[in-house]
Amino acid sequence: MTTPDPSKPLTAAAVLERCDELASHSSLPDGLIERVYLSPEHAAVNALAAGWMRDAGMATWQDAAGNQCGRLEGATPGLPALLLGSHLDTVPSAGRYDGILGVLTAIAVVERINADGRSLPFALEVVAFGDEEGTRFGTALLGSRALAGTWLDAWWELTDEAGTTLHDAFVAFGLDPAAVTAAARTSNDFVGYLETHIEQGPVLEENDLPLGIVSSIAGARRFQITITGKAGHSGTPWTHRRDALAGASEAIVAIERLARDADLIATVGHLEVFPDAVNVIAGRAEFSLDLRGRFDADRDAAWQRIEALLEEICSTRGLHVAVHQTHAAPAAHCSDRLRGVIAAGIRAADRSDDGPAPLELLSMAGHDAMAVAHLTEIGMLFVRCAGGVSHHPDESVTEPDVASALDAFEAAVLALADG
Ligand code: HGY
Ligand code: MN
Ligand code: MN
Ligand code: MN
């Protein structure tokens, strides 16, 4: 095992350079970033992360679901581990810090602790999850749900845009679908899970804070909604039209109004029209819906009202609606214990023992921590990102904030060890 040089702790600048290197592994041209589960780009960044994990002194392996893992033993071999990590996959036309900063912060902190010769009462494991976003197959958290032991065999027939099934993508990546359950860990394997992530919202910036503590993560449900009418000549009189796109448009605006009134967040990010021609009335419109809120019960009650709304709009317009849920993740709560060590880490980083308590905030963005919460306590450290922008090439963080995050995350791990 490598023993890193304590005189050269991994700096924020080095972590940001690694973010840039990972960003170069993309399936898109012109500097745009897209890296999906079980792709050649995924294999490339797993190899890079594995090398950096080994430089930090970890033993490394790729698990049966394609997650890249590393482990540094504690005071004695075989102890349960504190799991650290995030994800390496991205949305289309992504930023370079969502998920990636969390993986690299975890590796850097293990390197620092190892270099300082600290032997902790637990092992340290780092996991770089392969599919948090769900970009390729539509349902999210596949990597972390494999580790959590909540994988569903119903997913094997999910297909990507090219029609490749998840099953065949596993095989092409060199994985055995029948062995995916080998990725599942147990609660006894871990003492907890800590994840660093950019906030993907404006709250830290509005409060002029570099770091914050996540209190809980909003649960999301995703749907594919298909509205069917009758394609026809664009000169058809109003009395004879059953326009699926006009119906979908009315529904989308009505859903937004309903979500705003219910203090929820609803996003329609995908829309496809058939036959998609300037002089043909749309016979079919298919759109996605991502619905999330602080409380699952409010979200689910609103979803029932949305279903009634869809039926009403479609019956008025002589249209048919079909709904298919593609993803559901319950809200997850960060434990008092791990929120406490994150707070201790932030205070240590900004040396503000007598300052105001670090800010706690809800994450409207989903995270792998939601899936890992099935196994063990979770805690998350948020890092300010400019304008709260994420899932966009303009996603950005500052070197000083990353330096603070490294110090805070290391101090949080040590606070747990000393606790
Ligand atoms: O969708 C989300 O909230 C996360 O970024 N995957
Ligand atoms: Mn994301
Ligand atoms: Mn993320
Ligand atoms: Mn589609």
In sequence order, what are the beta bridge partners of 216? 333
CA distance 249 to 230: 16
Nearest CA to ligand 1 atom 1: 366
Tracing tokens 């482990």 back to the chain, one arrives at 71
Query: What's the average pLDDT block by block, 10 residues per block, for the chain (419 residues)?
Result: 78 97 98 98 98 97 98 97 98 98 98 94 98 96 98 97 98 97 98 98 97 97 98 97 98 98 97 98 98 96 98 98 96 97 94 80 97 98 98 98 98 96
325 within 8 A of 222, measured Cβ to Cβ: yes
Residue corresponding to tokens 């197959």:
137
> For the chain, what is the largest distance between any 2 Cα atoms, rounded to a whole number of angstroms?
79
Strand extents, DSSP E, 64-218: 68-72, 81-87, 123-129, 190-198, 211-217
- Give the ligand 1 atom nearest the CA of 132: 6
C-alpha to C-alpha distance for 49 and 118, rounded to whole angstroms: 22
Residue with tokens 């009202």: 305
Residue 352 has a pLDDT of 66
| pLDDT for 69 | 98
Within 10 angstroms of residue 157's Cβ, the number of other Cβ atoms is: 10
Note the helical H segments in 214-361.
244-261, 296-317, 336-349
Any known ligand binding at 133?
yes
Sequence-distant (≥ 6) Cβ neighbours of residue 312 within 8 angstroms: none
With 0-12 CB in 10 A as exposed, 13-18 as middle and 19+ as buried, what is 62? buried
Length, in residues, of the chain? 419
- Overall pTM > 0.90: yes
Instruction: Give this complex's ipTM.
Output: 0.88
Ligand 1 within 6 A of 366 CB?
A: yes
Ligand 1 binding pocket includes 199 (Cβ within 6 Å) = no
| CB-ligand 1 contact for 140 (6 Å cutoff) | yes
Cα angle 383-384-387, degrees, rounded to a multiple of 5: 150
* Residue among 36, 131, 132, 145 to mutate when testing ligand 1 (max atoms within 8 A of CB): 132
Distance 300 CA to ligand 4 centre (A): 24
Rounded distance between C-alpha atoms, residue 352 and residue 263, angstroms: 34
Ligand lying nearest the CA atom of residue 220: 1
**Which residue, by CA, sits nearest to atom 6 of ligand 1?**
133
| 218 close to ligand 1 (CB < 6 Angstrom) | no
